[in-house]
């Protein structure tokens, strides 16, 4: 099992690891785009970066961090990301429960594409919806006054193309990760879409949505606490030991969640007018 988490906008500062080594990161097929995005971020004037990144002057230090991506200290990705989901996950105690827990976790990223939990990364700021100006090939051309020339500002989705999708399909399968549990938010799923889990080929992903039961019995998609419950689920799944390693599809994932006291439903495929069902999408609903 490989549990794919969304990143967080907030990140822990500093770190005691060495500077970034792209060749040491997981999913090496993503290195060329990582290099280009880093170069483009470091080339941005900080004042211009505030607008491009969609942040205020109060977060100026976030834009400044992007100018030091290659000489800043690093820390493991699972410690770099913070916030509600990561509080619920409590990465620091996972291996006390299951020594292999970290090996089952990864994080989607606009800058790095996808990471494994132990990949060492610096503090940065970049979101899935950012349109980042692109420097010309070579990166050294300058206009009058020494300002770097930029051309188009492609979306992160366009930059990544199919690379994340292909990297997850090939690398995860090659390591024997089995089913991917995709807990990424919509914007990050869009950077690297995955097909539904196919037990025959051993590829694809199971997605999970979080719903709450209203007083009238109706359901409502959870927004505010969505990240918290996904963090809780990620902790349960990543520490499930041999059950996690043997999981093959939605039914196995649901069983692990239920054994931990969570209410998990397998979404049945819709029935067409002719009475036939569509192929199962392997999606789950966590009811809270």
What would the pLDDT profile of 253-268 be if each residue is shown by its tens digit? 999 999 999 999 998 7
Average pLDDT of span 6-13: 96
| Distance from C-alpha of 253 to C-alpha of 286, rounded to nearest angstrom | 11
d(CA 37, CA 43) in angstroms, rounded, equals 10
Model-level pTM?
0.89
From 43-47, 100-104, 196-200, 206-210, the region with the lowest mean pLDDT:
196-200
- Considering only residues 168 and 74, tell me which one the structure prediction assigns the higher pLDDT: 74
Give me 32's structure tokens.
């060329």
pLDDT band, very low/low/confident/very high, at 150 (cuts 50, 70, 90) = low
Q: Phi and psi dihedrals of 199, rounded to 5?
A: -65, -25
| List of residues 6+ apart from 133 with CB closer than 8 A | 40, 44, 52, 150, 151, 152, 153
Report pLDDT for 213.
86
Among the residues of the chain, which ranges form H helices?
31-43, 46-53, 60-65, 77-80, 84-89, 91-97, 156-160, 163-174, 186-191, 226-238, 242-246, 250-259
Q: Average per-residue pLDDT in the chain?
A: 89
Q: Which two tokens stand for residue 194?
A: 């995955």
């Amino acid at each position: 099992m490989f549990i794919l988490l969304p990143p967080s906008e907030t990140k822990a500062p500093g770190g005691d690891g060495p500077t970034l080594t792209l060749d040491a990161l997981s999913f090496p097929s993503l290195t060329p785009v990582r290099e280009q995005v880093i170069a483009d971020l470091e080339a941005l004037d900080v004042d211009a970066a505030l607008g491009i990144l969609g942040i205020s002057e109060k977060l100026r230090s976030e834009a400044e961090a992007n100018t030091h991506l290659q000489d800043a200290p690093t820390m493991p990705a699972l410690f770099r990301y913070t916030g509600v989901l990561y509080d619920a996950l409590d990465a620091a105690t996972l291996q006390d429960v299951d020594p292999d827990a970290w090996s089952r976790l990864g994080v989607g990223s606009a800058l790095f594409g996808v990471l494994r939990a132990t990949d060492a990364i610096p503090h940065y700021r970049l979101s899935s919806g950012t349109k980042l100006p692109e420097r010309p090939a070579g990166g050294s051309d300058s206009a009058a006054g020494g300002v770097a020339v930029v051309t188009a500002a492609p979306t992160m989705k366009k930059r990544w193309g199919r690379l994340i999708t292909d990297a997850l399909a090939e690398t995860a399968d090659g390591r024997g990760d089995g089913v991917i549990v995709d807990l990424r938010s919509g914007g990050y799923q869009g950077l690297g879409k995955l097909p539904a889990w196919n037990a025959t080929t051993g590829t694809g992903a199971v997605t999970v949505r979080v719903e709450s039961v209203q007083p009238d019995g109706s359901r409502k998609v959870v927004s505010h606490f969505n990240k918290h419950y996904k963090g809780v689920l990620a902790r349960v799944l990543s520490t499930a030991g041999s059950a996690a390693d043997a999981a093959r599809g939605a039914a196995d994932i649901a069983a692990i969640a239920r054994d931990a006291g969570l209410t998990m439903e397998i979404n049945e495929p819709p029935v067409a007018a002719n009475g036939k069902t569509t192929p199962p999408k392997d999606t789950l609903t966590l009811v809270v």
